[in-house]
Amino acid sequence: MPSNPPRTDLGAFAHALAARLPGDTWTTTYARHGEYPDQIRTTKELWDIGAVGYAATNFVLGHEAVLARGDGARLLVFDRPLRRRQFMVGALQPDAHDDAFHLVAEPNGLTIPADPARAAAQIARRLLPRYETALRQVRHNTAHPVPRRPAPAVIAGNVGIAWYPDGAVGAVTGSPKATGLLYIHGFQYHPYHRMFLLPASYGDQQQLARIQAVSQRLAQIGVGVTVRPAPAAPKPTARPARPPAPAVASPSR
């Protein structure tokens, strides 16, 4: 894994950056990392599936700075790998149950210049609005969980299919042989709902055609299909937040 030789000015840059960010006071915490596993305590919480997340996963960073706001918002700042005149900044996930992140878009981070004033302006204009929108959605999902679709009834080794009130078609199966055929006929697996779904956007006729086609293919390999109305949805209940990670003392500079 490539190493990113640490600069000497990250701590000072983060302090100057925090002083220029809008809103409540931001505090900074600086930490050095002796080895790659040391950075995982923080980088595993990055709310980013873009370039920032890639860099934090695929390079040994050497050190980091975390900017924190009183309401729980946190930003991770580190050297941009292979670019000595730039830093990278990304949002960190809040402490919440995994289900609260359902359908919440990642507020992907930025590459920022080494000038604190310019960097703060870019973060305020481009990153913070996305981050704050995502935080509000997570808090809303925590207080008002998105109900999971009740799973169709299924006999062991077969496929259960149900038509839901919003027009989507769900399928569950315990047969590995059935999984590939469901994918081929347009069903996509949704981890949150723990089932395959055929979206309502296909329309009734297209959905019926796909159900009939996959049922015929499944019958050829000895897998039965049961199509029934969707079970009644359970009443949603608020979910507790994820337990916070244990505090880890930051090494001194």
Residue 252 has pLDDT above 50, yes or no: no
pLDDT tens for 159-178 read 999 888 888 899 998 888 89
Distance CA 80, CA 46 (A): 15
CB 134 within 8 A of CB 106: yes
- Model's pTM, two decimal places? 0.67
Same domain, 224 and 167: yes
Same domain, 120 and 171: no
**Domain end residue (candidates: 143, 178, 200):** 143
Q: Look at the chain and report how many structural domains it folds into.
A: 2
Amino acid found at 65? A
101-117 average pLDDT score: 92
Q: How far is CA 26 from CA 14, 43, 75, 200, in A?
A: 10, 19, 10, 45
Beta carbons within 8 Å of 69's beta carbon, 6+ residues apart = 23, 24, 25, 26
For residue 226, the SS3 value is strand
Q: How far is CA 56 from CA 33, 114, 153, in A?
A: 13, 18, 43
Same domain, 122 and 164: no
Among 7-16, 63-72, 154-163, the range scoring the smallest mean pLDDT is: 154-163
* pLDDT score for 112: 97
117-142 average pLDDT score: 95
**Domain end residue (candidates: 108, 143, 178):** 143
Radius of gyration, alpha carbons of the chain: 23
Same domain, 205 and 81: no
- Residue showing tokens 């894994």: 1
* pLDDT score for 6: 61
Same domain, 24 and 78: yes
